[in-house]
Amino acid sequence: MNDLPPADEVKAEAKATTALERKDAVGLVTPARIPGQVLPPAGDTFLGRRITPLTRRRLDNFRTNRRGFWSLWIFLVLFVASLFAEFIANDRPLLIQYDGAFYFPVFRNYPETAFGGFLPSEADYRDPAVKQMIDEKGWIVWPVIPFGYRTITDAPGPYPAAPSRTDWLGTDDQGRDVLARLIYGFRISVLFGLALTFFSSIVGVAAGAVQGYFGGLVDLGFQRFIEIWEGLPVLYLLIILATIVEPNFWWLLGLMLLFSWTSLVGVVRAEFLRGRNFDYVRAARALGVSDPVIIFRHVLPNATVATLTFLPFILNGSITTLTSLDFLGFGLPPGSPSLGELLAQGKANLQAPWLGITAFVVLAIMLSLLIFVGEAVRDAFDPRKVVR
């Protein structure tokens, strides 16, 4: 009458089931999982690291936004190409073969005597006499654009000269190649924007975290300070300081950092005001965990979602800030490649429309790509958006 299996068989089956349940997705036996715990499927990795289902959903949401996805790739290709601007636009050859030896002027300087000349100074490779000496015993490999951003081209005056087969986008008012200055100017603008976004985000997140976590008088005092700080006239300070010291890349970066860190404070502060009352934060306090550990290890990861969605737009604003300062004449030193300086030249030389149009198109494309990327990032972190 008793149809139950023997006790030994039940125990063996239970052990087999337990071992099977403990088997990980990659085939390794691990400790028992928490009931209901969802692990990412086997092989679900990104950049060589295993990711959670939530991260996979966000990546899928980002890819679903085709405009933002391809905008990111186009922007990355343009930026990486600009990092190698010296190999694309340069008045120095990439490679010289002379008398059986190889020379790399793009990496180091060579005297004219190395190519049969009589001057011990650095060789001018655009000099017809130097070119002739090298061609007699070797050959030269030039970049695609044989001009640097400071090189005066061979275009006939008056300047600015119209586009030609040599100068594809013409020259500026000093006879320098516009395309070469665009490539270098694009690189400087993006690097400045990335640096300003990175450092201002660190300061802004730290300030917002302290305000939101402690609240009370700390929050009140910080808010009043930020209101006063944001009311300072940044442009007037730039004009005054420009008369004292000559502005450069790092000087401008430090000065703009003093006034740009407040952009993320409000968002991070709101996230910390909400998160400090969560149960896990109270439990951490009850266990004696220090405030810095709670802020940066437990609450900050939950606040980074709102922060990341703002970063592309902050980068956009940083690039626009540098362009505006260069356009007004309070940016990078004179002679530096800059999109704002090209726009100023276009305004001053209406008879040469290629100056203003070229700088405007490049700036519009760059900022549009960043806006599209920002929209895709925002959709990726939107919990209400589901990939179908």
pLDDT digits (tens, 9 = 90+) for 97-142: 998 889 999 998 888 888 888 888 888 888 888 888 888 888 999 9
Extract the runs of DSSP E, i.e. beta strands, from the chain: 45-46, 49-50, 95-98, 101-103, 138-141
pLDDT digits (tens, 9 = 90+) for 279-289: 888 898 888 88
What is the per-residue pLDDT for 363?
Answer: 92
State the average pLDDT for the chain: 83
CA 44 to CA 233: how far, in whole Å? 51
Contact call for residues 316 and 371 (beta carbons, < 8 A):
yes
What is the per-residue pLDDT for 360?
Answer: 92
By mean pLDDT, which of 18-32, 187-201, 302-316 is the weakest?
18-32
CA 349 to CA 343: how far, in whole Å? 10
Contact call for residues 94 and 143 (beta carbons, < 8 A):
yes
- Lay out the sheet containing 95-98: strands in order across: 101-103, 95-98, 138-141
By mean pLDDT, which of 35-39, 309-313, 363-367 is the weakest?
35-39
CA 177 to CA 155: how far, in whole Å? 9
Those residues with Cβ within 8 angstroms of residue 127's Cβ, 6 or more apart along the chain or in another chain? none
Share of the chain above pLDDT 90, in %: 27
CA 162 to CA 153: how far, in whole Å? 12
pTM for the full predicted model: 0.81
Contact call for residues 206 and 222 (beta carbons, < 8 A):
no
List the structure tokens of 277.
């009352």
- Between 166 and 383, the more confident residue is 166
What is the per-residue pLDDT for 81?
Answer: 94
pLDDT at residue 9 tops 70: no
What is the per-residue pLDDT for 3?
Answer: 53
Q: pLDDT-derived band of residue 8, with 50, 70 and 90 as boundaries?
A: low
User: CB burial class (10 A; 0-12, 13-18, 19+) of residue 335?
Assistant: exposed
pLDDT digits (tens, 9 = 90+) for 261-301: 888 888 889 888 888 888 888 898 888 888 889 888 888 88
CA 167 to CA 177: how far, in whole Å? 6
By mean pLDDT, which of 19-33, 57-71, 294-308, 328-342 is the weakest?
19-33
Q: Which H, E and C letters describe 191-219, residue by residue?
A: HHHHHHHHHHHHHHHHHHHHHHHHCHHHH
